[in-house]
């Protein structure tokens, strides 16, 4: 972490000065207006705070530190974490340094496993995952140093240290929960010689003779790393962290939001739909059969899971990366074949139907089918994988928010009577 910390120590004063100048010159300028409709509709589209780690363009999808996602699908999760924090890709030495830092914090404490063993056998994996993270809150460096009276200028350093220690443990925590919850046998110890994604594959215990599952998880963890600051999980963690709650509290808050069916839980709903198509046609349907099936579903007032996005007005580049991976690595599989065929059929159907603002697929339309192919077939575990990855974005945002001294989040609410009287 020495090289990462040194890079941030170099960058932080520069951005602090830049923001100070922006506030002096442009602090009174308006960047957004709020309509009554937006106030009642989840604050959709309101520009209200700053997130520099990534942005989502309706026309291009996810852009990480100015780089379109599809330009960096080849990089490791460790490299994307460095990029989220610093705005540039690490060199080989910096990547090794970060890997070594992760490797020194791999072990999940025994008390966490003892706690999880006491939970009901039918506990949701996300409940177990969040419980495990929250149980480790006593390990927080930030909490200890804050209680000792550390200066505000060092807050970000303690957040970064907490973040690295937590991130390092998440593959082991997730894999251990998988084996425990689904009765896959004893936990498998992490291997300090493996990369972040490789360790997860090793510890989950699924066969990966040719290394393709490892490649998929590298891609999966990289693609889900961040999605600007306004989505439910990012904003929840941002809000909680703004109260100077440590990363264990703040990440858990975000992941509780991620567990909702309108956010991170959507991937398993998409796979359920794909499997229902397979079961309906006893395999891979023809293009015309699938088109008729989709029309029947829409005419009955149901949606096509995996299609549409709150922001995007183009195919989700994360979907594009997944579909390319499947086309390159998966042959003669009905489940992935249906995902591929849906992409050919559904946008045209939705355009003709006319009610969908965005007829294009989102990331959830493809991710589950790939996991399913490689043997990870327990749907309700998928959001845990999403969580392992998305924590990188949450931590990166927290580091910079504390470095820049962003104050507690406290928007002003109004009443319905106020709207009646003042608009």
pLDDT(73) > 90: yes
The whole-number pLDDT of residue 275 equals 95
In the predicted model, is pLDDT for residue 44 greater than 90? no
Check residue 205 and give left, alpha or beta (phi > 0: left; psi -120 to 50: alpha): left
Residue 73, domain member (yes or no): no
What CATH number should be reported for the domain holding residue 289?
1.10.230.10
Q: According to the model, what pLDDT value does residue 143 have?
A: 97
For residues 396 and 231, the answer to whether their CB atoms sit within 8 Å is no
**Residue 356 confidence (pLDDT):** 73
Phi and psi at 54, nearest 5°, equal: -160, 165
pLDDT of residue 15: 95
219 in the same domain as 116: yes
Whether residue 315 has pLDDT greater than 90:
no
Whether 124 is a known active-site residue: answer no
CB 162 within 8 A of CB 149: no
Instruction: Tell me which residue range forms the domain holding 343.
Output: 266-373
Average pLDDT over residues 39-57: 92
Mean pLDDT of 52-77: 95
- For residue 120, pLDDT over 90 is answered with yes
Shared domain check, 306 and 226:
no
Expressed in angstroms, the distance from the first to the final Cα of the chain is 53
Q: Which of 309, 316, 333, 417 is catalytic?
A: 309
Task: Map residue 83 onto helix, strand or coil.
Answer: helix
The pLDDT score that the predictor gives to residue 45 is: 86
Q: Report the distance separating Cα 17 and Cα 37, nearest Å.
A: 37
Tell me if 196 is assigned to some domain. yes
161 plus 91 within the same structural domain? yes
Q: In terms of domains, do 173 and 209 share one?
A: yes
Q: pLDDT (tens digit, 9 = 90+) per residue, 261-298?
A: 878 777 788 899 999 999 999 999 999 999 999 999 99
Q: Are residues 340 and 208 in the same domain?
A: no
Domain assignment of residue 180, yes or no: yes
Is 409 within a domain? no
Cα separation, 269 vs 311, in Å, equals 20
pLDDT of 314 above 90: no
pLDDT(10) > 70: yes
Specify the pLDDT at position 90: 97
User: In this structure, is residue 41 part of a structural domain?
Assistant: no
Residue 34 resides in a domain: no
pLDDT in tens, 167-216: 999 999 999 999 999 999 999 999 999 999 999 999 999 999 999 999 99
DSSP string, 120-141: -TT--HHHHHHHHHHHGGGG-H
pLDDT of residue 263: 81
In DSSP terms, which residues pair with 57 in a beta bridge?
61
- Whether 309 is a known active-site residue: answer yes
How far, CA to CA in Å, does 52 sit from each of 17, 245, 316, 387, 400?
Answer: 16, 21, 20, 20, 9
> In this structure, are 362 and 397 located in the same domain?
no
CA nearest to 224, candidates 55, 386, 396? 386
The string of pLDDT tens digits covering residues 372-406 is 999 999 989 999 999 999 999 999 999 999 999 99
- Residue 234 has a CB neighbour count (10 Å cut-off) of 23
Q: Is 70 part of a structural domain of the chain?
A: no
Domain CATH for 243: 1.10.580.10
Average pLDDT along the chain: 94
Kindly report the pTM of this predicted structure: 0.94
Residues 113, 179 within the same domain: yes
Q: Are 241 and 260 members of one domain?
A: yes
What's residue 59's pLDDT? 87
Average pLDDT over residues 238-258: 97
Task: For residue 9, tell me if it sits in a domain.
Answer: no
Tell me: do 201 and 110 sit in the same domain: yes
What would the 3-class secondary structure string for 264-304 be?
A: CCHHHHHHHHHHHHHHHHCCCCCHHHHHHHHHHHHHCCCCC
The dihedral formed by the CA atoms of 334, 387, 344 and 324, expressed in degrees to the nearest 10: -80
- Residue 355 pLDDT class (50, 70, 90 cuts): confident
In the prediction, which pLDDT does 393 show? 98
- Burial environment of residue 39 by CB neighbours within 10 A (0 to 12, 13 to 18, 19 or more): middle
pLDDT at 1: 61
Examine the domain organization and report whether 138 and 174 are in the same domain.
yes
Same domain, 99 and 145: yes
Q: For the residues of 318-347, what is the DSSP string, one character each?
A: HHHHHHHHHHHH--S-HHHHHHHHHHHHHH
pLDDT > 80? residue 18: yes
Report the domain count for the chain: 2
Q: Which of 195, 224, 263, 334 is catalytic?
A: 263
Indicate whether 126 and 250 sit together in one domain.
Answer: yes
Half-sphere exposure of residue 216: CA atoms within 13 angstroms, side-chain side = 28
**Percent of the chain clearing pLDDT 90 (strictly above):** 87
329 in catalytic set: no
């Amino acid at each position: 972490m020495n090289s990462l910390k040194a890079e941030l120590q170099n960058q932080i004063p520069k951005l602090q000065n830049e923001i100070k100048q922006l506030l002096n010159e442009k602090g009174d300028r308006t960047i957004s207006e709020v309509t009554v409709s937006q106030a009642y509709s989840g604050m959709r589209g309101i520009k209200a705070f700053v997130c520099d780690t990534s942005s989502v363009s309706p026309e291009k999808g996810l852009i990480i530190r100015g780089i379109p996602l599809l330009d960096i699908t080849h990089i490791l999760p460790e490299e994307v974490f460095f990029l989220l924090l610093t705005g540039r890709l690490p060199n080989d030495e910096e990547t090794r340094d970060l890997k070594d830092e992760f490797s020194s914090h791999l072990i999940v404490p025994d008390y966490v496993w003892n706690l999880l063993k006491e939970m009901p056998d039918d506990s949701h994996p996300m409940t177990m995952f969040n419980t495990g993270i929250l149980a480790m809150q006593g390990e927080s460096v930030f909490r200890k140093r804050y209680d000792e009276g550390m200066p505000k200028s060092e807050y970000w350093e303690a957040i970064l240290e907490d973040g690295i220690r937590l991130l390092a443990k998440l593959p082991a925590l997730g894999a251990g929960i998988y084996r425990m919850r689904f009765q896959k046998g004893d936990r498998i110890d992490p291997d300090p010689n493996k990369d972040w994604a490789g360790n997860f594959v090793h510890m989950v215990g699924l066969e990966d003779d040719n290394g393709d599952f490892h490649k998929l998880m590298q891609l999966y963890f990289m693609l889900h790393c961040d999605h600007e600051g306004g989505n439910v999980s990012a904003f929840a963690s941002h809000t909680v962290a703004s109260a100077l709650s440590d990363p264990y509290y703040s990440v858990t808050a975000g992941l509780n939001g991620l567990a909702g069916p309108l956010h991170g839980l959507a991937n398993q709903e998409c796979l359920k739909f794909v499997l229902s198509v397979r079961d309906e046609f006893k395999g891979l349907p023809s293009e015309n059969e699938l088109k008729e099936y989709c029309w029947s579903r829409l005419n009955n007032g149901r949606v096509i899971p995996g299609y549409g996005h709150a922001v995007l007005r183009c195919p989700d580049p994360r979907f594009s990366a997944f579909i390319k991976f499947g086309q390159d690595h998966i042959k003669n599989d009905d489940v992935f074949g249906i995902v591929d065929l849906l992409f050919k059929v559904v946008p045209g159907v939705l355009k003709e139907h006319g009610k969908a603002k965005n007829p294009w697929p989102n990331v959830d339309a493809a991710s589950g089918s790939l996991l399913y192919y490689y043997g990870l077939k327990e749907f309700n575990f998928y959001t845990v994988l999403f969580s392992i990855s998305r924590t990188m974005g949450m931590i990166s945002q927290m580091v910079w928010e504390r470095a820049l001294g962003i104050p507690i989040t406290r928007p002003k609410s109004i009443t319905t009577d106020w709207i009646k009287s003042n608009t």
